[in-house]
């Protein structure tokens, strides 16, 4: 057999044995997706997206969570909650809403590892009733699929507790002069309770009827809400007023889904939660430990990667996270040494 035939056979063997990289989108396409995500928050784009209830920015079975509230799984819930939260302020400039309306942003950090993204975005939120803007920083872990859709997200509002400490006191005097508010502007809790209860009850009585009914009349609604805690602005996924108030903008979009969230039971959103359980919950099946290189061979190892205080690292993790996918046992090493580089290294 000639040297040429041997070389050809080796090359064919190498091509068969070499692991095939799973098709990945480029870094520029990832940045495009991040920009589309951020653009979606800006008024009036957020109104359009929220009312669609079906943003293709998310995969159909997207899994997500926001630290201020809870988990939002599926395209419809993710569309409503992430973009619908700020719709009321954009549509009613006189409402002293605690949430404001995003008007601009700057992506201040972005790390890309394969289909995994870590980003931080500084938004400027407008509060028209105050004629003032405030910066709000949102940190996010995102996982993008081959269609440039978000299939996992974990979002944190950085310094949100501090932001509300600054913003809410400025809004109290404006809330105090809204209709049906009898509490004095010096009574912060009284004003907040009446402001949120009025919005919750009005929305419930306007949109929750028939099988979706939550309260028989205004008095029943107010009596119930007076027995609930106001809550903290960083705990908007619990059995309190701030959680029910959070759902007011989304309720007209899908009453059959959201009416229970502002009702007595709180549905599956405004409920009592255990701190330990929330923190320790493993909500994302694919996790967030990002490999540099994904192949069909290492996908299973990647999904099960763990680094804990109670266990040594599994040797397979080194293989799964390798940037070159070449190891001492790799049969392609001899062919590479003999023939030179037969393929370029995958991008880091």
Q: Which tens digit of pLDDT belongs to each residue from 104-128? A: 999 999 888 878 899 999 999 999 9
Cβ-Cβ contacts under 8 Å for 33 (sequence gap 6 or more): 25, 57, 117, 142, 144, 148, 149, 150
> In the prediction, which pLDDT does 338 show?
36
- Residue 347 reports pLDDT greater than 60: no
| pLDDT at residue 328 greater than cutoff 70 | no
Q: How many CB atoms lie within 10 A of CB 276?
A: 8
Q: Which residues contact 308 (CB under 8 A, 6 or more apart)?
A: none
Say which residues have a Cβ less than 8 Å from residue 222's Cβ, sequence separation at least 6.
197, 201
| Distance of alpha carbon 295 from alpha carbon 268, whole angstroms | 38
Q: Tell how many helices (H) and how many strands (E) occur in the chain.
A: 14, 5
- pTM (predicted TM-score): 0.78
Which residues touch 14 (CB under 8 Å, ≥6 apart)?
332, 335, 336, 342
* pLDDT value of residue 15: 43
Q: Which residue has better confidence, 38 or 286?
A: 38
pLDDT at 305: 63
Which range has the worst mean pLDDT, 10-14, 89-93, 97-101?
10-14
Q: Which residues pair with 157 in a beta bridge?
A: 138
User: 222 vs 279, which has greater pLDDT?
Assistant: 222
Place of tokens 């700020």: 86
CA distances from 72 to 44, 50, 101, 232 (A): 23, 14, 21, 20
Which of 232, 252, 251, 253 minimizes the C-alpha distance to 241?
232
List C-alpha distances in Å: 230 to 13, 180, 195, 238, 252: 68, 18, 11, 10, 23
* Closest C-alpha to 262, from 192, 211, 210, 215: 215
What does the pLDDT read at residue 160?
95
* Model confidence pLDDT, tens digit, residues 16-42: 444 444 446 777 888 888 888 889 888
DSSP H or E stretch at residue 141: strand 132-144
Q: CATH 3.10.450.50: which residues of the chain?
A: 27-277
Percent helix, strand, coil in the chain, to 5, is 40, 15, 45
Q: What are the residues whose beta carbons fall under 8 Å from the beta carbon of 82, sequence distance 6 or more?
A: 40, 41, 64, 66, 72, 155
pLDDT confidence bin for 307, thresholds 50/70/90:
low
CA distance 343 to 230: 61
Mean pLDDT of 44-56: 82
Architecture, CATH, for domain 27-277: Roll (3.10)
Helix axes 188-207, 255-262, angle to 10 degrees: 150
3-state secondary structure of 137: strand
């Amino acid at each position: 057999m000639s040297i040429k035939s041997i070389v050809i056979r080796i090359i064919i063997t190498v091509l068969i044995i070499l692991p095939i990289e799973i098709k990945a989108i480029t870094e520029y396409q990832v940045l495009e997706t991040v920009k589309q995500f951020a653009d979606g928050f800006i008024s009036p784009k957020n109104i359009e997206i929220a009312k669609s209830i079906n943003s293709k920015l998310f995969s159909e079975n997207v899994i997500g969570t926001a630290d201020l509230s809870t988990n939002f799984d599926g395209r419809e819930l993710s569309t409503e909650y992430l973009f619908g939260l700020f719709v009321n302020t954009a549509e009613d400039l006189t409402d002293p809403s605690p949430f404001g309306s995003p008007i601009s942003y700057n992506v201040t950090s972005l790390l890309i590892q394969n289909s995994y993204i870590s980003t931080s975005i500084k938004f400027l939120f407008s509060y028209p009733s105050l004629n003032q803007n405030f910066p709000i920083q949102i940190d996010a872990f995102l996982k993008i699929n081959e269609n440039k859709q978000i299939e996992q997200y974990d979002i944190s509002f950085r310094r949100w507790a501090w932001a509300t400490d600054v913003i809410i006191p400025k809004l109290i005097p404006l809330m105090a002069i809204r209709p049906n508010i009898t509490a004095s502007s010096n009574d912060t809790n009284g004003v907040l309770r009446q402001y949120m209860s009025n919005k919750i009850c009005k929305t419930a009585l306007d949109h929750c009827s028939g099988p979706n009914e939550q309260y028989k009349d205004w008095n029943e609604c107010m009596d119930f809400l007076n027995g609930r805690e106001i809550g903290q602005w960083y705990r908007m996924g619990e059995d309190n007023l701030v959680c029910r108030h959070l759902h007011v903008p989304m309720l007209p979009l899908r009453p059959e889904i959201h009416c229970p969230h502002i009702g007595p039971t709180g549905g599956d959103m405004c409920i009592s939660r255990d701190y330990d359980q929330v923190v320790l919950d493993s909500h994302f099946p694919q996790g967030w430990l990002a490999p540099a290189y994904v192949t069909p061979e290492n996908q299973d190892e990647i999904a099960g990667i763990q680094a804990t205080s109670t266990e040594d690292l599994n040797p397979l993790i080194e293989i799964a996270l390798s940037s070159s996918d070449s190891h001492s046992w790799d049969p392609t090493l001899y062919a590479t040494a003999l023939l030179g580089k037969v393929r370029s290294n995958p991008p880091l």
